[in-house]
Chain A
């Protein structure tokens, strides 16, 4: 390799490294750090008395919303309230006796199964237990 080529090579790679040394930290800075979430989570979703048959309530479950429903038959069930389509928060529709997402008209049955509209998957199931007069929800 001629001397000039060698010097060009050194300058070029140095310049490349300088550019990389500037942009690598910037690129990493832009990606937010991951925050560990606790795997054990028990949340008081509602008072047993305030949840009537054929109704539902959205409550904070860790960082995400969840929904606890009482079916017309009196069973208490809980699901993640994050719609599996595009992440809106679902609600209980007593007129349809279904869980419903207002954003794109997605329907789920009382087992959280997607039965109409765009949602591709059922809602994530959570465990609901009644302890005294409180409904406790935890991960299944």
Chain B
């Protein structure tokens, strides 16, 4: 094969694209081998599940209709009439749930190995924002089938935003597209879910991945940089990654075939909330926490207090790299290890209590 002008086509491309530095970077990239290496796979796994979301999400767009009259019926149509529609939607829902799961594991493994130490503060912060974005994706996507449970979940969720002191009313109306959860809310959530959130996520994900490439893998405290063994990223680590992705794909197909995602009953704005209503599992620990806060604590409303505490917790979580001064100096920081484990125990315990009561 000849390139235009008669030279080697690869050289022709290389002259125009200038990819040599990229190839050099790929060639040079290594991954350390030690007893915590397994945790390095969780980020790639999350990315794989995210890509699955994008692909299945684009497919669903071809049939979904975002209005309160047609949304439920269009999802019914996808599940019942469209060839493999049930599979595409079930994979979309299952991979969303698995992705939030791997995201949490990825985050806590990064936290406990103190990988947020300098110079990786921005990687941590962009990752924390990606977590918030993923939760917002989950929350907005949940409403789209317009069923009973999602209707009330959205009512409660947006009402929680409504109690934020100062900007609450504005936030509530901004999210709902009016004073109540209606078809206007559905259209808005659709816009968030398929356009605004993907655009913001692309930005943060780009920064996150670029920083990971630039700075390489973090070594946990206690591992000696000069003594630790490494493997090449391409092909050794990438092939192992791919093996994990293949397993994840198999798991998704199996889950979707055995437990196709349910649709429930169509939302009715004038029906009572069904007994036993619960949010998705990844919001259960927050839901359970809100349940335990009494109506009034001193002179503050319980839900205002809950929102303030959870909001303050989220801010502290984002700025962890600047709070853990010991880890920043390369020393051990047992206090943060304890905080990490306490948080894991709290989240797991509250999720279980919420699930089984």
Residues of A near any B CB (own CB < 8 A): 30-32, 35, 58-60, 63-65, 67, 81, 85-91, 101-105, 114, 117-120
Measured CA separation A60–B268 after assembly (Å):
10
Contact B174 A30 (CB under 8 A): yes
Contact A103 B152 (CB under 8 A): yes
Contact B178 A118 (CB under 8 A): no
Task: Please give me the residue from chain B that is nearest to A58 by CB atom.
Answer: B272
19 contacts between A and B (CB under 8 A): A32-B174, A58-B270, A63-B179, A64-B180, A86-B160, A88-B155, A88-B156, A88-B273, A89-B152, A91-B273, A102-B277, A104-B156, A104-B290, A118-B293, A118-B294, A118-B295, A118-B303, A120-B295, A120-B296
- Given A32-B177, A32-B184, A88-B155, residue A101 in contact with residue B295 (CB < 8 A): no
Contact A87 B295 (CB under 8 A): no
In this assembly, does B275 line the interface, its C-beta being within 8 Å of a C-beta of chain A? yes
Residues of B near any A CB (own CB < 8 A): 152, 155-156, 159-160, 170, 173-174, 176-180, 182, 184, 269-277, 287, 290-291, 293-296, 301-303
Contact B273 A59 (CB under 8 A): no
A105 to chain B: which residues have CB within 8 Å?
291
A87 to chain B: which residues have CB within 8 Å?
155-156, 159
Contact B270 A65 (CB under 8 A): yes
B178 to chain A: which residues have CB within 8 Å?
32, 35
CB distance from B270 to the nearest CB of A (A): 4
CB distance from B197 to the nearest CB of A (A): 15
Measured CA separation A101–B184 after assembly (Å):
25
B156 to chain A: which residues have CB within 8 Å?
86-88, 103-104
Contact A89 B302 (CB under 8 A): no
